């Protein structure tokens, strides 16, 4: 029997060996990050999730189920009692859905990392238009699109990088390539 062409493809696993230095937080750790790339997910979005992981790193941080469960966060952390302490979205969330998720996350820190400042500005405009009032506590940030494009230009399943965050700026070393870019933040309120 021949396999059908329309059968679902399996996700692809990616491994990232990251030397993370968060200068302002005095955090210096070596991370092994393993994540699955959904068949319909772009490599840009995989890198956006990895950057969010490094930017918001804390113990017990893990990836959500991804695109196969759109109601779940892209990243989350629980405390020892099982309560959410961090709820993270990447990419292009809907403001109304994000407010609902933030309400559902209780006292958890809520953050979104967008793929560009332009996408962040569009989200803020949509949130104001929809009058979502409870997103003021959400951390909204965007990564430099040139940095994201530079990282995504090479699609390797095993990657070793050095990533340094100083203030609102990210520096990445991969092999003999050095990339950097700002993190732009906006507060709704």
* pLDDT surpasses 50 at 172: yes
Q: How far apart are CA 34 and CA 47, in angstroms?
A: 12
* pLDDT surpasses 50 at 22: yes
Q: How far apart are CA 53 and CA 50, in angstroms?
A: 5
What integer is the mean pLDDT of 84-98? 90
- Number of independent structural domains in the chain: 1
> Does some domain include residue 6?
no
> Does some domain include residue 4?
no
Q: Which of 32, 80, 25, 81 lies closest to 55 in space, CA to CA?
A: 25
pLDDT of residue 58: 93
- Given pLDDT bands bounded at 50, 70 and 90, which one contains residue 68? low
Q: Which tops the pLDDT comparison, 53 or 67?
A: 53
What integer is the mean pLDDT of 8-24? 92
Q: How far apart are CA 160 and CA 156, in angstroms?
A: 10
* Domain around 91: 12-186
pLDDT of residue 6: 45
pTM to 2 decimals? Answer: 0.91
The percentage of the chain sitting over the pLDDT mark of 90, rounded to a whole number, equals: 64
> Does some domain include residue 5?
no
> Does some domain include residue 46?
yes
> Does some domain include residue 68?
yes
pLDDT per residue as tens digits for the range 106-165: 788 999 999 999 999 999 999 989 888 777 888 999 999 999 999 999 999 999 999 999
Q: How far apart are CA 161 and CA 169, in angstroms?
A: 16
Query: Domain of 55: which CATH number?
Result: 3.10.640.10
pLDDT of residue 189: 66
pLDDT of residue 99: 87
What HEC string does the chain produce?
Answer: CCCCCCCCCCCEEEEEEEEEEEHHHCEEEEEEEEEEECCCCCHHHHHHHHHHHHHCCCCCEEECCHHHCCCCCCEEEECCCCCEEEEEEECCCCHHHHHHHHHHCCCCEEEEEECCHHHHHHHHHHHHHCCCCCCCCCEEEEECHHHHHHHHCCCCCEEEEEEEEECCEEEEEECCEEEEEEEEEECCC
- Given pLDDT bands bounded at 50, 70 and 90, which one contains residue 84? confident
> Does some domain include residue 45?
yes
> Does some domain include residue 143?
yes
């Amino acid at each position: 029997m021949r396999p059908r062409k329309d059968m679902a493809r399996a996700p692809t696993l990616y491994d990232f060996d990251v030397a993370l230095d968060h200068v302002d937080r005095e955090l210096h750790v070596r991370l092994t990050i393993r994540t699955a790339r959904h068949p319909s997910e772009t490599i840009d979005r995989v890198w956006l999730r990895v950057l969010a992981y490094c930017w918001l790193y804390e113990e017990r941080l893990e990836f959500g189920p991804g695109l196969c469960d759109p109601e779940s966060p892209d990243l989350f952390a629980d405390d020892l009692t099982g309560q959410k302490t961090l709820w993270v979205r990447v990419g292009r969330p809907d403001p109304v859905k994000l407010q609902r998720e933030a309400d559902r996350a209780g006292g958890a820190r809520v953050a979104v990392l967008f793929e560009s400042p332009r996408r962040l500005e569009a989200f803020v405009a949509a949130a104001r238009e929809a009058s979502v009032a409870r997103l003021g506590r959400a951390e909204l940030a965007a990564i430099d699109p040139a940095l994201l494009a530079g990282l995504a230009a090479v699609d390797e399943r095993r990657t070793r990088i050095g990533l340094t965050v100083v203030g609102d700026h990210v520096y990445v070393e991969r092999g003999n390539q050095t990339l950097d870019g700002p993190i732009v933040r906006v507060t709704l309120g």
